[in-house]
A and B are shown apart, each in its own frame.
Chain A
C-alpha cells in the first residue's frame, strides 16, 4: 500500500464570516442551511424526526433541549439512510 499524505491545508476550520457567506449562498441555491456550534447540537438535530422538516425551528428549541447539553460524539459521517 502506498501511503498518501493528506494536505492539511484543507483541515483548517473556516471563519465565521466564511460560514455566513456559505449559508447565504446555499440558501440562494435552494438549500436550507443552518449553523450549529458542535457535534452534539448536530446530533440532536439530525435525530429528531419531528424537527427535520424545520431545522430553524429545531435550532431554536435546542436552547431548551436536553439534547443540546449532551456531549455524545457524532459518529463518522458515512451514509445513514432512513425510510
Chain B
C-alpha cells in the first residue's frame, strides 16, 4: 500500500518528504508541521472498545496530532484482534501485547526500543472525519 500511495499520480504523499527529513529533521519545526496536518491520513489503532472508544499509542506521538485534530480525513484500518471490552482492557492490550512487539520491531529496525509514551483516547468525533475499516483478519499489532 505504501508503494501504491507513494508512486501513484493521484496522491501527493507526505511519507517520502518525511523520510527525506531524516530522524533529526522530523523534530524540526518544518517536520512537525508536515506531519501534524495532512489532508488524509491512513493508519491504524491499537484497540477499539465495545463502546466505540479508540486507543492509539505512540512512542513519539508523531501521528497523534493528525489523528486528534490536524488531519482533515482519517482512515483507520483495524484488524479484528484489536477489539476489546473496555478502556482498561485496551490499555492492557497496549502494554501487554502491542508494546512488546513494537519494541522488538524498533530494535530490529533501529537498534533501539520504543514504549507507548503517549496514548490517545478518542471518545467521539464530528461525523465525516473518521472512517474505520474493520478487517476480519489479524492485521498489525
Instruction: Determine the chain A residues whose CB is within 8 A of the CB of B138 once the complex forms.
Output: 11, 13
Most buried by A among B1, B40, B53, B141: B1
A77-B77, A80-B2 known; A25 vs B51 contact (CB < 8 Å):
yes
Question: Complex: how many Å from CA A41 to CA B79?
Answer: 12
A48 and chain B: residue at smallest CB distance: B10
Question: Complex: how many Å from CA A83 to CA B35?
Answer: 10
Instruction: Determine the chain B residues whose CB is within 8 A of the CB of A47 once the complex forms.
Output: 1, 4-5, 8
A82 and chain B: residue at smallest CB distance: B40
Question: Complex: how many Å from CA A44 to CA B128?
Answer: 20
Report if A68 contacts B (CB, 8 A). Answer: no
Most buried by A among B15, B38, B99, B132: B132
Report if B100 contacts A (CB, 8 A). Answer: yes
A4-B99, A10-B81, A30-B125 known; A77 vs B140 contact (CB < 8 Å):
yes
Q: Are A42 and B133 in contact (CB under 8 A)?
A: yes
Question: Complex: how many Å from CA A82 to CA B2?
Answer: 10
Report if B101 contacts A (CB, 8 A). Answer: yes
Other-chain residue from B39, B62, B135 in contact with A42 (beta carbon distance below 8 A): B135
Question: Interface SS of chain A: helix, strand, loop or mixed?
Answer: mixed
A11-B81, A14-B83, A82-B41 known; A19 vs B134 contact (CB < 8 Å):
yes
Q: Are A75 and B2 in contact (CB under 8 A)?
A: yes
A27 and chain B: residue at smallest CB distance: B52
Most buried by A among B50, B131, B139, B141: B131
- Can you list 5 contacts pairing A with B, beta carbon distance less than 8 Å? A11-B138, A38-B136, A46-B133, A77-B139, A82-B11
A interface residue numbers (CB < 8 A to B)? 1, 3-14, 16, 18-19, 21-39, 41-43, 45-47, 49, 52, 55, 74-83
Sorted nearest first, the 10 A-B pairs with minimum C-beta distance are A25-B52, A4-B100, A77-B44, A14-B83, A10-B97, A81-B14, A7-B96, A82-B40, A77-B140, A80-B42
B interface residue numbers (CB < 8 A to A)? 1-5, 8, 10-15, 18, 35, 38-44, 48-54, 62-63, 66, 73, 75, 77, 79-81, 83-84, 92-93, 96-101, 103-104, 107, 113, 122-141
